Amino acid sequence: MLVVCRIALLVLCALSLGGCAFSVGGREPVPLAPGQETVLETAKALVGTPYRPAGESPDQGFDCSGFVKWVYARHGIRLPRRTQDQLMAGRPVPREELKAGDLIFFAPSGKLSSLHVGIFDGHGGFIHSPSPGGRVRQEYLLAPYWRSSYYAANRVLR
75 in catalytic set: no
Q: Is the Cβ–Cβ distance between 99 and 122 less than 8 Å?
A: yes
From the candidates 5, 20, 64, 75, give the one annotated as an active-site residue: 64
5 in catalytic set: no
128 in catalytic set: yes
- List CB contacts of 81: < 8 A, sequence separation 6 or more: 56, 65, 66, 69
Residues, the chain, total? 158
Cα separation, 74 vs 69, whole angstroms: 9
From the candidates 13, 75, 116, 123, give the one annotated as an active-site residue: 116
The residues annotated with a catalytic role in the active site are 64, 116, 128
